[in-house]
Chains A and B, each alone.
Chain A
C-alpha cells in the first residue's frame, strides 16, 4: 500500500472509530435507563446489596440458635489486624470428655479491613459476611461486637470439606 492510500484509509478508519465511540455515549445520553446511580437514602427500603459485598463479619446462626464455631482460633491467628479475639471455655460433654466451646467471639469492627481471611480460613464455615453497611455510631465502643449470640450452642455435624475456591496453591519453596 502506498503512503498516499495509507493516509486516506487511516483518516477514514479513524473517523469511523471516533463515530463508533460517539455513538456509545450518544446512546447513554438518550436512554435514561442506562443510569446506574442508586439514590441511597431514598431507596433504603428497596436497596439490594451484591451477594459478595463485604459488609461486616457475622457468625452464621440457624433458626434454632445453633452456630458452627468450635473456638479453634484459626480466625484469630489469621487476622492481620488483631480484629478478632476468641475467648473459649471448657465444658464436660455427655461422653465425659473435656471439650472446648466458644464463650465470646469478639470482633472489633473499627480495626477490620474486610480482607476476608477469617471467613476464608474458617474450617467449619462458621463465619460469613453480611450485607449490612450502615456502621456509623456515635460511640466507638459500639463497634466492638460479640458475634456468637447469647444462649447459642455449637451444632455437631460431620465436618464438610470446604469447597475449592480456585485460589492458586502456593507450593513451599524447593530446597
Chain B
C-alpha cells in the first residue's frame, strides 16, 4: 500500500548532509548529538509540564472540582509557576545520608526515562533510535529507573524512603514480566521488534482491531501492568502518601524532587506512547483495510497529531484508572500479578501464537 505521508528522514538526511559539508565528520556527529539532546530535553520538560497540568485538571473534574483556574486562562500557567517555585527551593542536605548515591539517584531515574523516550517514533522517520530490537531496548532501559528508586530510598537514611523503595522494587520487578509478555503478543503479530516495522505493519488496521480479542486483552494487561511499573496509582504504594509520606522521595527537595516528579510523569507518557505505537498504530493514521478513499482522508491529518492524540488517549486511560481506584496493598498487588495477570498473559500469548500460526487475524 502506498503511503502518501511526509517522511521526516528526508529532513534529517538533509541536515546531516549540510553539517557534513560544513564540518568534519566528528564535528557533524557531535553537533547532531547536541541538537538531538537539546530537542529531547526541551520536549521532556514541556511535555512534563503539560502532563502535570492535564493530570490536575482530569483529577479535578473526576472529583467534581474545577482544578487550577487562577493563574492564566483556565490556569494553564499554574504548572509553570509551580516549576519556578520548585526551582527556587533550597536543596536540603540530609544528615548521615549517603551523599554520593543520594545525589546520583534522581539522575539515574531521569536518564532511564530519557533513554526509553529516544525509541519512540513520533512520526515517519522522526525517531532518535530505530533498533531492530526496539521493544527489547525499551524494556531494558525502563528497568534502569527502578535502580534509581532503590538508591534514593536506601541512601536517604529514612525508614519511609527505604520501605517505599523496597515495595517499588518488588512491584516493578514482578510487573515487568506482564509488560514484556503483553508486548510480546504484538511482536508475534507483526513479526518484528523494530518500532518502525511494527508501525508499518499496522498500515491496514491497528493491531488492537486486527488481532481480535487476544490483542484487546493484551492491551488491557499492558495498560494495567505498565501503570504498576511506573509506580502510579492505584499501584503507587512506593510513595503511598497516607502511609509513607512520600515514599522513596520523602527526603528530596527542590530540583531533585522535581526530577523524580517529572520522571514519573514522563514515564507515564512513554508507556502511553509505547502502548499507542504497539497496539494503536503509533503515528499511522486510522486505516480500514483497502478502503482507499477513507484512508486518503485520514492521511490528511498529520502523523504527529495521530501519535500525540493516541498517546494522550492512553494517558487519559491511565489517569482514569488512578483517580477511580483506591490504592492496593502490597500483597494484593503481588496477588494480582502472579495469580491473575501472568497466567492470563501466558494463555493469551499461546493463543496469539496459535492465531498467527493458523493465519486467522486480518492481514
A contact set with B: CB distance below 8 Å: 11, 18, 21-22, 24-26, 28-29, 32, 34-37, 39
Contacts and interface: CB of A to CB of B under 8 A. Distances in A.
Given A28-B61, A29-B61, A39 B66 contact: yes
B324 A24 contact: yes
Contact of B62 (A11, A29, A36, A39): A29
Contact of B320 (A25, A35, A39): A25
Main SS class of interface, B: helix
B320 A11 contact: no
Given A11-B340, A22-B320, A28 B63 contact: yes
Interface in B49-82: 58, 61-66, 69
Contacts of A34: 64
A22 B325 CA distance: 8
B331 to A, nearest CB: 16
Contacts of A37: 64-66
A35 B58 contact: no
Interface of B: 58, 61-66, 69, 320-321, 323-325, 340
A35 B61 contact: yes
Contacts of B321: 22
A35 B340 CA distance: 37
Main SS class of interface, A: helix
Contacts of B340: 11
A152 to B, nearest CB: 44
Contact of B324 (A21, A32, A35): A21
Contacts of B324: 21-22, 24-25
Closest 9 CB pairs of A and B: A25-B324, A25-B62, A37-B66, A36-B64, A34-B64, A37-B65, A21-B324, A28-B62, A29-B62
A32 B320 contact: no
Nearest to B63: A28
Contacts of A36: 64-65
A18 B324 CA distance: 9
A32 B58 CA distance: 12
Nearest to A30: B61
B325 A35 contact: no
Contacts of B65: 35-37
A26 B320 contact: yes
